[in-house]
Structure 1
Amino acid sequence: MRMSELKRKEVINVCDCRRLGFVGDMEFDPCTGQIKALIVPGPGCVCGFLGREKEFVIPFEDVCQMGDDIVLVRLREEPPRPQK
């Protein structure tokens, strides 16, 4: 699979069925050439004018399945801590 094909796939979290976006980049291990993580840019702020929110860095072992149109991942986020 080529990077251009992967960028056309939407990433969906199977834990909460949330759409995370489309693959923007990948992180590779320079020694082995294996994919270490998928990077999905976060949603834009104020119609995209002021940059983006956080990006999702998804370790490749958290990828459940790659289909023709989507990539299913298991992204566990820590619940927000109560403020004092």
Structure 2
Amino acid sequence: MVKISEFQVKDIVNIHDGKKLGNMSDLSINVTTGNIEAIIVSGGGRVMGLFGREEEMIIPWNKIKKIGADVILVEHQTAMKGAYSDK
């Protein structure tokens, strides 16, 4: 069994580019089924926690590829835009 607090200290990393996306700030749970639908990741959109709004990303549960001791590896498409081009 894993506690939510254990997930919140893990870095969320995109497997496509190795970029740290942030840390888990919340979960989206389907109350009918009890299944986790997505994790909500808080990004580093603020300067020293003071200025601007902190950006949030919603990562669907099926995009989580591996949960390790220190890191959660995810497949996040937004970070890939423009990163790879076949043309």
Q: Which among 43, 58, 79 is matched to residue 81 of structure 2?
A: 79
Percent sequence identity over matched residues? Answer: 35
TM, length-normalised to structure 2:
0.82
Which consecutive unaligned segments of at least 5 residues does structure 1 have?
A: none
Counterparts of 1:60-71 in structure 2 under 5 Å? 60-71=61-72
- SS of alignment partner, residue 81 of structure 2: coil
Aligned-pair CA distance for 1:49: 1.1
TM, length-normalised to structure 1:
0.84
Aligned-pair CA distance for 1:48: 2.0
Runs of 4 or more, structure 1, over 3 Å off, are none
Assess if the C-alpha contact under 8 Å between 1:64 and 1:72 holds in 2. Answer: yes
Q: Give distance in 2, aligned partners of 1:46 and 1:8.
A: 20
RMSD: 1.6
Assess if the C-alpha contact under 8 Å between 2:45 and 2:55 holds in 1. Answer: no
